[in-house]
């Protein structure tokens, strides 16, 4: 047989196995999320026969996952907003200017990630209670911004470093001030990368459960809400909850994968 064919067959097999490895849990989560409780507990079928939306209905309305989803979305959006307002200028400065202590600063930014959020969560709660923002949206937003900001700074700095400085200088020569050159030339050129890092920030915030659980009681984000309700419910609710958690991330990644790939410097073509 010809070598090329064996090669592509092997590639196909290996890629298939890897895909299966990652897809199997997702497939089972999806199946179980929609399975009727009877089918779910029936040991005769691996793949359920009857499907229903009732778990979703219960989860969203009885266990207030709907409210939690809205909170999660707001938290993620505000986290992106805040971390970009702070992180994009910082990333730009790190990529464009030379100054004393630049590398130390970069390291310091990164080193804030040395402290796990779990360690920060309790002191944060105490501080938030003192200033009266515990169990509020803004409390979680602040915590999530802290978590996401180092990444936004470092990622955007490498995105801006990838935009040739000559494009910006040409804009300065041809009549723009520094700030206008940034908004008219640099920003549009950096946009794909920035979009990718926004998605990255979104997913980090969306998936964060620990701090959200500690900082809130009434205004829980989706993961925190699920942790405290669905996990005490019958098994199929857990799968339904998992499905709800996974889908937005998957949808985002699907639409953003071009940008996400460009973020890590690989090109899809």
Partner 1 sequence: MVKVTLQEVTKRFGKTTAVNRISVEIEKGEFIVLLGPSGCGKTTLLRCISGLEKVTEGRILFNEGDVTNLPPKDRNISMVFQNYAVWPHLKVKDNIGFPLKIKKKPTQEIETKVKWASEMLGITELLDRYPHQLSGGQRQRVAVARAIVMEPEVLLMDEPLSNLDALLRVKMRSEIKKLQESLKVTTIYVTHDQVEAMTMGDRIAVLKDGKLQQIGGSNEIYHKPTNLFVAGFIGSPQMNFINVEVKEEENILIVATSGLEIPLPPAIPIKKSEYILGIRPEDIHIKELPNSTRVTGEIYFVEALRSDTVLHVNTDFGKLVVKIPGDFDAKEGENISLYIDNSKIHLFEKESELSIL
Residue 180 Cβ, how far from partner 1 at the closest point, in Å?
Answer: 8
Residue 238 Cβ, how far from partner 1 at the closest point, in Å?
Answer: 46
Q: Write out the binding residues for partner 1, residues 145-164 only, by CB under 8 A.
A: 164
Q: Does 133 bind partner 1 (CB under 8 A)?
A: no
Q: Write out the binding residues for partner 1, residues 188-227 only, by CB under 8 A.
A: 188-189
Give the three-class secondary structure for 134: coil
Of 19, 169, 251, 255, the one binding partner 1 by CB under 8 A? 169
Of 38 and 184, nearer to partner 1 (C-beta) is 184
Nearest residue to 55 via CA among 252, 239, 254, 249: 239
103 burial (CB, 10 Å; 0-12 / 13-18 / 19+) is: exposed
Nearest residue to 216 via CA among 81, 74, 112: 74
Q: How many residues in the shown chain lie near partner 1 by CB under 8 A?
A: 16
User: End-to-end distance of the chain based on CA atoms, in angstroms?
Assistant: 30
Of 66 and 192, nearer to partner 1 (C-beta) is 192
Residue 256 Cβ, how far from partner 1 at the closest point, in Å?
Answer: 19
Taking CB under 8 A as the binding criterion, the range among 67-75, 78-86, 88-96, 169-177 that sits at the site for partner 1 is: 169-177
Q: Does 167 bind partner 1 (CB under 8 A)?
A: yes
233 burial (CB, 10 Å; 0-12 / 13-18 / 19+) is: middle
Q: What DSSP letter does each residue of 186-234 carry, written as one string?
A: IHHHHHHHHHHHHHHHHHHHHH--HHHHHH-SSS--HHHHHHHTGGGS-
User: Using CB under 8 A as the criterion, which residues of the chain lie in contact with partner 1 when the complex forms?
Assistant: 164, 166-167, 169-178, 185, 188-189
């Amino acid at each position: 047989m010809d070598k090329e064919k064996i090669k592509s067959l092997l590639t196909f097999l290996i890629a298939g196995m890897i895909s299966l490895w990652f897809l199997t849990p997702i497939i089972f989560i999806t199946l179980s999320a929609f399975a009727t409780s009877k089918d779910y507990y029936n040991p005769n079928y691996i793949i359920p026969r009857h499907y229903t939306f009732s778990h979703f209905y219960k989860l969203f309305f009885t266990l207030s996952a709907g409210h939690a989803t809205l909170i999660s979305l707001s938290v993620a959006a505000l986290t992106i907003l805040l971390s970009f307002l702070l992180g994009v200028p910082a990333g730009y400065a790190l990529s464009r200017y030379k100054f004393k202590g630049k590398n130390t600063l970069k390291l310091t930014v990164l080193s804030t990630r040395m402290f796990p959020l779990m360690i920060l969560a309790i002191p944060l709660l105490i501080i938030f209670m003192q200033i009266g923002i515990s169990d509020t949206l803004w409390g979680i937003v602040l915590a999530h911004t802290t978590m996401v900001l180092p990444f936004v700074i470092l990622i955007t700095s490498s995105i801006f470093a990838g935009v040739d400085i000559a494009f910006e200088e040409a804009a300065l020569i041809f009549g723009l001030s520094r700030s206008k050159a940034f908004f008219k030339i640099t920003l549009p050129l950096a946009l794909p990368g920035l979009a990718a890092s926004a998605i990255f920030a979104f997913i980090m915030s969306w998936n964060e459960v620990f701090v959200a659980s500690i900082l809130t009681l009434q205004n829980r984000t989706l993961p925190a809400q699920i942790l405290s309700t669905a996990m005490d419910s019958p098994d199929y609710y857990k799968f339904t909850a998992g499905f709800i958690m996974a889908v937005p991330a998957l949808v985002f990644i699907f639409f953003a994968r071009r940008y996400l790939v460009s973020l890590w410097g690989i090109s899809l073509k």
